[in-house]
Structure formats: C-alpha cells, structure tokens
Amino acid sequence: MTIPLDPDISPPGTTRFRDAGGIPADRWRAIRGEETLVPTHCCFCGVQCGMYLRVHDGKVFGVEPRDHDINRMRLCPKGLNAYQQVNHPDRLTAPLLRRSRTDDLRPVSWEQALDVTAEQIRRIQADHGRDAFGLLGGASLFTEKTYLVGKFARVALRTRHVDYNGRLCMVSAAGANKLSFGIDRAANPFADILLTDCLLIAGSNVGECFPVMTQYLWGARDRGASLIVVDPRETSIARTADVHVALRPGTDAAFFDAVLHVVIAEGLVDQEYVDAHTTGWDEVKAAVAEFTPDRAAEICGIPAAQVVQVARMFATAPRAMAWHARGIEHHTQGVENCLAVINLCVATGNLGRPGAGYGTITGQGNGQGGREHGQKSDMLPGGRSISDPVHRRQVAEIWGIEEADLPLAGTSMMEMVHQMRRGEIRGLLGVCNNPFVSLPNYHVVKEGYDALEFHAQCDFFLSETAANAHLVLPVTVWAEDDGVMANAEARVVRHRKAQQPPEGVRTDTWVLCELARRLGVGDKFAYTGSEQVFEELRIASRGTVNDYYGITYARLDETGGIAWPCPDVTHPGTPRLFEDGRTAHADGKIHMQAVGWHPPADPYDDQFPMSLTTGRTVAHFLSGNQTRRLGGLVEQTPRPWIEVHPSHGFANGDPVTVHTRRGSATFPALVTEAIRPDTVFVPYHWPYPVAANEMTIDALDPRSKIPEYKVCACRIEAAAEITPVPAPPMPPGRESYAEAQRARAEQLPPTSSQGRGTSQP
Amino acid sequence: MMGRTIVIDPGRCIGCQACVSACRECDSHRGRSMIHLDYLDQGSSVASSPTVCMHCEDPLAPCAQVCPAEAILVTPDGVVHDADKSRCIGCGNCVNACPMGVPKIDLAAKLQFKCNLCYDRTSYGLAPMCATVCPTGSIFYGTLDELRTERPGVEVASTFDIDGTILSTGVAVVVPRDRPRGLPLPGGAGEHPRVTGSPQPAGHLEPNADNVLGEPLP
C-alpha cells in the first residue's frame, strides 16, 4: 500500500514514500528549514575545499558539502569534522596567566593579560634591546592576520625576529620557485591536472595529506594519463601508479638529476624551448652529466631501469606535470630537490600550457598566502625583500614610518629557538603555532622555550606549547572571523564568519591591535575588522609580484576565488603562469640552476644504520592541536605507530623502539611490505613522549632554513611497552572532554558482546 | 539494478574514511557511521575498500527476510531500509543473516542501525553523503551510463558468489581489469617497492657542518 504524503515533512517532488507503514515519517525532519548555510572553506590543508557550515540559532552545528570549483562537493574526514572545533567544550574562554613556570595557569581579565604582555615587551626590550623580543606567526591564520603579524613585528615591536611555521612547510619550494622564476607559487591550477598526459608526484602522500586532490588525479587517469610516484613508501596513490619509485629517503636530487641525464642522453630535450626561455642550461647539463642511471640506482637504492622509464614517460608525454610536497622539501637540500624537478619540467618544455607545468602541494591552509605579505623573517608585504632599500622605502611609506625604523632581516624559526637557548631572544609572542610538536629535536625546542623570561601564546585550544607559556590568550577559530586564504594554486578564497565567538574570546586581529595601542603605535593599527586590513594589504601589494590589488571581498564573494597576480579590479586573475613565456625575473627568462647531491645531514653508522622518515596521517593536521580533540578523528587514528618491513621479524602491534641521536620512543609496529626494509616511518602529529619530532634532526637547508624532517639515521629494537599517548592539555579546573566522555562511558552498565555487527554506544 | 545507485571502486580507495565521517554527519542516523572501511590485504598492501549496505535484490534483503518483527522495509526503488525503531527488538537476526556484515546492533538501545542509502538525501535527488564527499570517487552515485561516461571502459558487477550462494545486489562494484594503454589497475595490483642496497655505512657520508645546528649561529 502507499501511504499519503504529508507535504510539510516529505521531501519535495516525492510521489511515493514507502509501501508499508511503520517508519515515523518525521524522522527525517531535520531543522533544515530553520538553519542557515554559510558558504566558506575548510580551515585545514592547502586545497581549501569549499563547504557550507550549518548554523542554527547562531551556532555552527554541522557541515554540508559545497559545489565549489576546487573540490566539487568532495571533502576529507578533516573537513567533515572541522566544524566540531567551533563549539568544542575544550575551547579556551579566558586569558590564563602564571607568574613563573612553577605556578599554575590562572584565569585573568583581558585588560590584565594585555597589560602584562605590553609591560613585559617594554621591560625586555629596554633591558636587552628590541631584538630580544620575538614573534612567531602561523600559516593557518588568514592572510590579513599574517600581514598584521609582520607589521606588528616591524612597527610595534620593531624587532627583526619574526618568522612563522610555514618555515616548516614549503619554503624550499618557494625558494626554488623564486630562484628559477622570480615568483613563488604553483604555475598551474588543479584543473590543469585533468588535462595532463603524465603526472609526476614527488614526495607527496596525496591520498592522506591532500585527499581531495585525488579526484583530479583520477580524472586524468580516466583520460589515459600515466602516473609516476616518487616516494620511499607505497602510499595509496603509489599502489596503483604506473611507476612507483621507492627511493631511499634523502636521495631525490640524485634521482631527478639522473632522470634529466637520461632525457638529455636520449635526445628528448625541448631544445627550442630551452634556447628561447632559459639561462644556465649549460651548467645544468654539466651538473647532471655525472648522474647516470647506474649511479642514481646506487645512491637511491632503486633499479636503474626505473630512471630510464620515468625519463621516457615524462619527456615523451605531450603534456606532463610535476607536483611535489614535503617529501622532497623537508631536506638539507630541499631547495635543490625542488630545483631539480623544475629543471626537468623546463628541459622538456612543460610549462605555461594547459596540462603542462608544475605545482607545489601546500600543507597548511594558508601556507601560500601566509608567506606572501611579510610574516617571513626576510620579507615585507607583496613578497618584497626586507634587505632591498627600494622595497623598504615603499613599505615604510605605506605604513607611515621612517625607513630607518624598519628592522633588518631576522633568523628562521628553528634558529630563533637556538637564540632563545642562548639568551639572545628573551621574550616571545606565539600566534597560532605549536612548535613543541611541530619543530624537530624536541628537547632542544623545550630548552629554548623554557629559557624565555616571558612567553605569551595565542590559541583556541591549550596546545602543548601554550600549556608551557606564561600567558595564554584565547582567540577565535576560523569560523568566527572573516578573512582570505590562498590555496596551493595561489587562488585567494574567502572565508566567512559563521558565528559570534564565545564570551571571553577575541580575534587575533583585536589582540595585535590592542597590544599595539599599549605600545604607543595604536594609530598604525586602528582597524575595525578584517576587510579594513585587507584593503591596506591590497594597496601594500600593489605593483609587486604578489599583486592583490584587484582582489576585493566583493569580487571574491562573486567568484570561486581569484588567483594572484591580479593587478586591477577588472583583471580576472592569473590561474596559470608563464603562458606568454615570460617569468617574473627582469629578463623574463627562467634561471635554471645546476643541482648536485649530498647525503643527508645525519650520518648512518653501525649504531644508526636505518632511515627514519616522518609524515602525516589523513585524520590529523600538523601538530594535531586542532584535530586530536575531535572525537571522530581520534577514533580513526588514536595514536602514532611505526611502519616496519616484515624482514625485521616484528608482528603487528609489537612494541618497537626507534632510537636516533636525539631521542627515542616506543610505538606499536605496523608490519607492511609497503615500506623499504632500510626505512621506518612514524607519523608526527603527537606530542612528547610519542613525538616523531623528538627524534628528527634540526639540520636546516642553508637557503630555505627548512628542517630535514624527512630523513635521519635511526635503529629499531624490540621493546616491552608501548609509550602511552598523553591526554591533550586542559586549562586548570577543567576536565578534558575526552576524559569526561570516558568517565561517563565507565558509569554505564556492562553489556555482553553479541559478536559481529555489535556497536557499543 | 536500480537506476541511480552506488558503485564502489576499491581500486580508487585511499582509506581516508571520509565516507565514515560523512555518514556520521548525515541526517538519517546522526552521530553514527553505517560504513565500514575494510583493509583488504594489510601487511602487503595499503589497499582498502568501503563497505556500504549492498541493498540485496535476489534473494531480496536477507536481513529483512529473517526479521521476526518485520521491522526492515524494502521500498519499491530497491532501498533496504534500516529497522523501524518502533518495531525493532534488537535481536540481531539481521546481523547474522547479512552476508556482508553490514547491520549493527546498539546494545544499550536494543536497536539495529544500517545504511539506508541516505534516504533523506536520495529522495531529494541528492547523492548519499558518502558518495558526495568521497575524494577519489571510490564511492560513485549515479547510473551506469553516467559512470561509463566519466570512466570509459569501466566494468561493474552486481552478482556475487558467496560460498556457493549467488547474490544479486542493488549496489555494484567495479571489476578489476587489465591495463589498457598502460593504465593503472583498478582493484590495485600495484607493485611493492623494489629496493636495492642499503644505506651507506659511516664514513661515506659527510654531514654539512654548516647545516647541523647546535653550533653557534653567525
């Protein structure tokens, strides 16, 4: 029988609901009629998927996929769970202060918190000079906020010591792009991947780090494109790739040089393109001459035939693209690795065409935008150099200060930690970062932070770093403020405020402006909101390589995002670079750079004969501060593990200790043939004592100053007990949400298992 | 087979569990996921595959057939619904009858839950939440023609031999195939890392002193 439909509660257009009675028809009555869908983007990785936040009664309560150009409804588990941060019971809602590190953090008023901060800044700078106070920003901040962090450091603090956690992300790629092309961004939009004939992915576990990008990858493969994956691990995309080059960690430059060697030897170079558009080709040719396939096979630990196979596949494809990520960038030769990939693209003429080019896959949501406007130690807004007198004059004029008052270039994030240890930096303000988990060589990082006379940290959960600070300032999550981010394609997208922040929480912009007022430069920071900051940023970037002048909030609202450079308000933006064959260098040429290879910084010996490499897991984001409290994600990946090859004789779940020259920790083994026998892998999202970064080395690339996270020497051995995962830190007097849940679960009466299909509540 | 249905392509699955999170977010069984993510050959491969209710057609819904409370309804469009909460007695018969291990019993509530093909969405013309978000398209929702337009040459199966019992389902699965034009193999017959040699011994490697921190900075 067919039951009559209730038009109020039945789906529109439905003519037949069901043939038998029983299901209360209103079970599907959601509150859709009363909810608002706020179009915005995910707060996590550099794909910046479009999504709707579901808002009811002024509160974010859910998520709905959004048909945005970038992701076409797709979302990964992080995106689907991100909204749970917004009204999470673990949120910080009052500033917390302690007078010394032995005290407990106690709630104080905002007035008091800001007064203490300003007083400490003045004291430290008066006693030890302006550079004794540092500022560390983050690349998860909106671009407006990263601009403010840079301006605050130079104008309010007048310190040279400002840097950001994007330094740990993709500065190697940025450095290589600047050297070769004079412009620091991916050359092609994601949509170009659909048009390519050969896609090379180097050092990127796309399936776990950028899951939504896989739809482009599969779109290309449905058309018949081939896929080459260069990665020590057999990742989910490597599993079905045409060629998987499982090279030894830290040998990428040698591999790509050898590929170019074969391209040259087999006459597959696009000589016309090289002659017309490049400088430095002869030096590149000379540098790769010694990297024969046999030599690469020996260095990289792969069959020589794979080098030839990759060279032929890439060079003979009508349109080929290379995308790379941290796997080749997190090295002491991170810049060189990226240059080697660029050389391959340029030599084969794969640039500036649909389906042909290169890109870097940004880790952090605003990894791209976060470094464009002066948050980096050596950069001023618009990608200007802080060492260039012309650039300094331009920015000083925009900011209304004397050029002489602008500090010079500072040091990088890891170097700043060493300066803290040595007492050169005595006070620090951290905004939206968690170095206790994200920096390498944990014990050194802790020493550096512990040596600080004053440390204030802005965050919305009590991160491991904030829990160690003197002062914690509770700030908004992404859905509580307006702003823009630039994704991995350099497409600027608009994030929208979906709800008011909880009582006691302020925006990072407000915090910086209030501090500036207390430091006597309030007139330079008289902003009422994000759009006003963005308007200043537009002007500050006008005429530079990173030109945002033509981008406005209104235009972003009308479009799916605009890729910079966008010099005026009628300009459509620049999704694809170099279509006219000209780069951003003054001569318009590609400056090819010769690349060699040197071994990783941490030497192997009898004590430490294997490689440790680190990376991500799909359920967690970077230091895990944002994701290690979200139930679904914790359930999906509750703890780190160690991936080992079966040849070591371990069984799944066995406690295995990994030792390096800096530390050790014990993880359960995941025994798999998907990793090289000479290599182990540990994901890095967890804090000490289960931190991969307790073990990693803080050796830096000399140019980009990125740490060599992706390879260090190690040994493994059987252990008795797995190191337990610590609970996330909580403010005093508040029990962790997870702990509260556990306690409630324990109070429930015991139930008997019914075997398969049983789901415990 | 139903007109619009789910087609699962295990070859594309990256094991991200977006489907699991999405299922938890949809409105028809809020807070619970009705999808399993299965690791197919853990230890030698990273292959994985999502399992949704297969919406069995022949024999028609074994779970519904064995339900003593007649709580599991099958709609004419082929959707096998989860148990009517006002009838379900939480006996677990459906769990034991299902050849795919799909239905779950909430022991405290004494109620069954399972995938109902997101009836709250599909009856509006939307795709199920899992298929909407699946980053790789491993869970596809649409007609076979739509699938073949998007993925030329794809073959699907909706009849399975389970220990000698032949089962036809409303949900289909992409059949692994050989590689025409050197295409990767859906279903995942990739090769394991081929490895030669081992890390070089001490002495061969010269750490770059400029790069190793711990030394005073300039």
Question: What does the pLDDT look like over A512-554, one tens digit per residue?
Answer: 999 999 999 999 999 989 999 999 999 999 999 999 999 999 9
> Which residues of chain B are within 8 Å of residue A618 when distances are taken between CB atoms?
14-17
Q: CB-based contacts of A601: which residues, under 8 Å, 6+ apart?
A: A332, A697, A699, A708, A712, B207, B208, B211, B212
- Chain B, window 70-129: residues with a beta carbon less than 8 angstroms from a chain A beta carbon: 71, 73, 75-76, 81, 84-87, 92, 95-96, 98, 101-109, 113, 119-120, 123-125, 129
Of A609, A673, A698, the CB nearest to B213: A698
Q: CB-based contacts of A522: which residues, under 8 Å, 6+ apart?
A: A513, A516
Answer yes or no: do B193 and A12 touch at CB < 8 A.
Answer: no
CB A259 within 8 A of CB A310: yes
Q: Reply yes or no on whether the pLDDT at B186 is more than 60.
A: no
Answer yes or no: do A11 and B213 touch at CB < 8 A.
Answer: no
> Which residues of chain B are within 8 Å of residue A12 when distances are taken between CB atoms?
124
Q: Report how many Cβ contacts below 8 Å link chain A to chain B.
A: 290
Task: Kindly report, residue by residue over B25-49, the tens digit of the pLDDT.
Answer: 887 776 788 898 888 877 888 889 9
Answer yes or no: do B202 and A605 touch at CB < 8 A.
Answer: yes
Residue in chain A lying closest to B49 (CA): A236
- Chain A, window 424-463: residues with a beta carbon less than 8 angstroms from a chain B beta carbon: 441, 444
pLDDT score of A734: 77
Answer yes or no: do A248 and B199 touch at CB < 8 A.
Answer: yes
| Sequence-ordered strand ranges (E) for A147-290 | 162-164, 198-202, 226-230, 243-245, 278-279
Task: Kindly report, residue by residue over A434-449, the tens digit of the pLDDT.
Answer: 999 999 999 999 999 9
Of A63, A76, A757, the CB nearest to B92: A757
Provide the mean pLDDT of chain A: 91
Query: Is the peptide bond between A689 and the residue preceding it cis, with omega within 30 degrees of 0?
Result: yes
Residue in chain A lying closest to B107 (CA): A760
pLDDT score of B26: 80
What's this model's pTM, rounded to 2 decimal places? Answer: 0.90
Task: Tell me the mean pLDDT in the region A591-605.
Answer: 96
Task: Kindly report, residue by residue over B9-28, the tens digit of the pLDDT.
Answer: 999 999 999 999 999 888 77
Q: Reply yes or no on whether the pLDDT at A761 is more than 70.
A: no
| H or E element, residue A750 | none
Tokens of A601: 């910084």
Answer yes or no: do A63 and B25 touch at CB < 8 A.
Answer: yes
CB A189 within 8 A of CB A440: no
Answer yes or no: do B46 and A672 touch at CB < 8 A.
Answer: yes
pLDDT score of A738: 66
Portion of chain A with pLDDT greater than 90, in percent? 85
Q: What is the least distance, in Å, from the CA of A28 to any CA of chain B?
A: 6
Question: Measuring CA to CA, which residue among A38, A51, A39, A41 is closest to residue A485?
Answer: A41
- Chain B, window 5-44: residues with a beta carbon less than 8 angstroms from a chain A beta carbon: 11-18, 20-22, 24-25, 27-28, 32, 42-44
User: Phi/psi class of residue A746: alpha, beta or left (left: φ > 0; alpha: ψ in -120 to 50)?
Assistant: alpha
Task: Kindly report, residue by residue over A607-632, the tens digit of the pLDDT.
Answer: 999 999 999 999 999 999 999 998 88
> Which residues of chain A are within 8 Å of residue B16 when distances are taken between CB atoms?
76-77, 207-208, 211, 618
Of the candidate ranges A24-33, A656-665, B42-51, the one whose mean pLDDT is the lowest: A24-33
Residue in chain B lying closest to A333 (CA): B211
Of A22, A81, A603, the CB nearest to B202: A603
Q: Which domains does chain B have, with CATH numbers?
A: 5-207 (3.30.70.20)
Answer yes or no: do A222 and B199 touch at CB < 8 A.
Answer: no
Question: Measuring CA to CA, which residue among A651, A622, A627, A623 is closest to residue A637?
Answer: A627
Of A302, A444, A700, the CB nearest to B194: A302
